[in-house]
Structure 1
């Protein structure tokens, strides 16, 4: 980031080569931007772009010193730049692999948090019992089992188990009406397997119907799961019906709670943190404040040996050349390019386009093209080397640390579900419009891009990055705050979304292929 946080102008120019600045507040016609040398012409909403020079039709427009689109009409200096005069257009971008691959030096004082060490050495940030379903048909029974242990309804059920964070049912709408082999069922099973193995679950039940395509035995075999004291499976048909299934599940959870409650938190290295990076309800400030501040926190995490997972392929599209510059090898670069090409084909055969973004809320917040959104979204990943590229819900390889990329859709619940299945034990989620989201079994930290959102929706936000926009704090200062908040959250401090009870409904596996 190149702008001076102490400047008093009501607009921010991010890089000296940029053609636009971003309004800190609503700007009226005639407002003079002294340090930028322009006068506002017309109304410019907060978070939106102002032209800093005259731009003829068809001119490439730069923000972050990167092209975010081409003008669709002539634009005069001081005018509002948005969807009425800026459009997406393809242009050549060079792929220089590895030229920015940076490995940070380890800090002198290692960071730690209070984690839960499992018998196999993995470290958890939460301690849940999970109830998964093989198919939508068993969702009602699974939820009934979990509801028996709801603290807000039956506080006495978990009272004897203070070290257990809860019993959650993670249900979905798939598992049948699809081929018994192939990518759709493989990805679903990989997702369920990732959750069944997740360190944040002390134990898991998997409940099926019995006749579904996604047979529990097939799931267990594909994912090499081991049934026993930590994994219990059964079906409604074999149990003799819904009521008997619910009773069987409640009895099983009661047994599992005793062992789950025996855990004690202990001091562990920050290298055991795997953080999923999300942004939703983005705005024009996202790439100025919360996203680069989260990136600064990620740089700290990686320096301490931890890992972060960047995702949402449709929302890094057009900015992938920046990630390729950070790839540790041509092989890693090739995997990222392959996922981009898959998405281009996927959208084409479904009569869509990769520039089918930003959303209406993003546009209202000042984002115009997918290029602009992607460049801001990539800032969440910081500046360190890209060490690997994973497919959806693919586990982070044992012994791998640093920044990873996971191929996911841009839809936040689907994307975060894949990250957690891959091993993320914490989610950091930036928002400029006010997204409300939580994730079980991994806690989700919500970061606001602007102080107006923080003031309006503070009950859903954990940390405000708006002081960066207001010139009251630097990206590095807020990045340090986010990193310390990560450690506190991993140590058991509850997030806003956890206090509201978010998490069970946000489990959304990526549903691929035809539904028959």
Structure 2
């Protein structure tokens, strides 16, 4: 791709992506034939490589990403002003009677992790202070803040104390999907192997009772679980004082843990993309897909999510499903989201954000085709509900919204001990207690936000790395970060306020 002005991803495509801004009335010769640019093309945006008639399909990645709303001449800018959604998108390309090929485990990479009593492995060693309700949020943060800075000097093997708080826990029905989903998410966090121990803090009169959470945790046998109820302790000051004592005891136990060499099969990797641009599906996402394939060959697990952001590309996943049941379950989730969007007066194509569109993404189909490439090429082994414990090895899917913090929260509740997050516009997301690796789509972004980006996939566009080489390097970086190396978001202290559970169900006024 070196020294090209545009890149055409497949011979059947009728658009190419500008590698830099192109002015009008210039000639390029990067697609095998001269092409006159008729209108300005921003970097990352699409240019028609041949005349496209009104109603014809716009093709990128050898897939339909939209239809022409008017005649588009070769050399014109192709974007939201002249492209719309097709009346029907592909969704029924299912696997045939033969099961999709399951990749054999043929690698033996390792990392240094914390083995937990329940058999999970942590990439970090935190103590958590988890609130059952928004009313206990300030107390949770006060307890955690008591262990900032020098207070942690005595605990050299512990990464810190993290407060996990939210805006719910009361004002909702005591039964039904809403409370069940919240509890499943909180229990999942308490069980995440990156926590060596957890203190649950409640107010006392809330719907989401601390004792109910503790009871759900009982049979799961995670690390030590302690509880505090503000009303029973006598108020805020008393609860904070008692909480500090309890956390200190949990820290003493956590500090006895040591990193040991464990197989990469013990990694559960959450896959995220946010602030996507026109290069996301060309560089960072496919490179991450290569790294995912390597992890699967090690026997590890990768969790693809953000259901609205696979809309229009689901046929690429159903064709790879390990069974017809897995394919049907994924399509069932897509149908739920179609009804959910429709009932709210919306549509699935509203998904690309203003930043996505400014970066060159035109429709949800285009965004989804790029997003799916994060999942690599191996079989889709299972489909999980939001925050469900992930037990299957290989590539799996978790039903989540497309909003990155909500999606990552579900993955971590499901057991993810590492997150890899691709970004084209620039994201500063973090996700304590789980490290988040930020992957830039372009060298320009990597240099502009150097203190926030961990890996530069722009070298693929620059011509110094192939997608396969970038993916292999990214995989080695994952093992290094899983072994204790600090990500940029960790160095910046980000990740304690990004816990955002998916809130569903009726509110009780």
1:327 paired residue among 310, 321, 324: 321
Among residues 276, 280, 284, which one is paired with 1:286 in the alignment?
280
Q: Kindly indicate whether the alpha-carbon contact (under 8 Å) linking 2:176 and 2:505 is maintained by their aligned counterparts in 1.
A: no
Matches within 5 A, 1:230-249: 230-249=224-243
CA apart distance, 1:57: 1.2
Which residue in the other structure is 2:503 paired with? 511
Alignment partner of 1:43 out of 27, 40, 43: 40
Residue matched to 1:103: 102
Aligned mates of 1:254, 1:316 — CA distance in 2: 44
- Which residue of the other structure, out of 284, 295, 300, is the alignment partner of 1:301? 295
Match of 1:349 in 2: 343
2:90–2:313 contact (8 Å) kept in structure 1: no
1:491-506 paired onto structure 2 within 5 Å: 491-506=483-498
> Does 2:81 align with 1:57?
no
Select between 51-60 and 408-417 the one with higher mean Cα deviation: 51-60
* C-alpha contact (below 8 Å) 2:102/2:322 kept by paired residues: no
Q: How does 1:110-509 map to 2 (within 5 A)?
A: 110-151=108-149, 155=150, 157-224=151-218, 230-397=224-391, 400-509=392-501
Mapped to 2, the partners of 1:172 and 1:368 lie a distance apart of 34
What SS class does the counterpart of residue 346 from structure 2 fall into? coil
Deviation readout 1:227-266 (Å, 9 max, x if unpaired): 9970001210011100001011100011111110011111
1:422-458: per-residue Cα shift (whole Å, max 9, x none)?
Answer: 0000000000001110011110000000111011001
State how many pairs are aligned.
504
Relative distance call for 1:226 and 1:63 in structure 2 (3 A) is closer
CA distance, structure 2, for counterparts of residue 349 and residue 207 of structure 1: 36
Q: TM-score, normalised by structure 1?
A: 0.95
What is the DSSP-based 3-state SS (H/G/I as helix, E as strand, rest coil) of the residue aligned with 2:201?
strand
**TM-score, normalization by structure 2:** 0.97
Deviation at 1:492, TM superposition (A): 0.2
Instruction: For residues 146-199 of structure 1, give each alpha carbon's deviation from its aligned partner in whole angstroms, at most 9, with x where no partner exists.
Output: 000012xxx1x1111110000000100011111100000000000001011111
Cα 1:210–1:267 shift into 2, 3 Å: same
* 2:451 counterpart SS class: helix
Distance 1:136 1:49, change over 3 A: same
Q: 1:450 to 1:227 in 2, by over 3 A?
A: closer
Q: C-alpha distance in 2, partners of 1:165/1:35?
A: 50
**Is the 1:312–1:411 Cα contact (8 Å) retained in structure 2?**
yes
- Note if contact 1:136-1:174 (Cα within 8 Å) is conserved in structure 2: yes
Structure 2 residue runs of 5 or longer lacking an equivalent are none
What CA distance in whole angstroms lies between the structure 2 residues aligned with 1:284 and 1:429? Answer: 16
The DSSP-based 3-state class of the residue aligned with 1:504 is coil
Shift of 1:357: 1.7
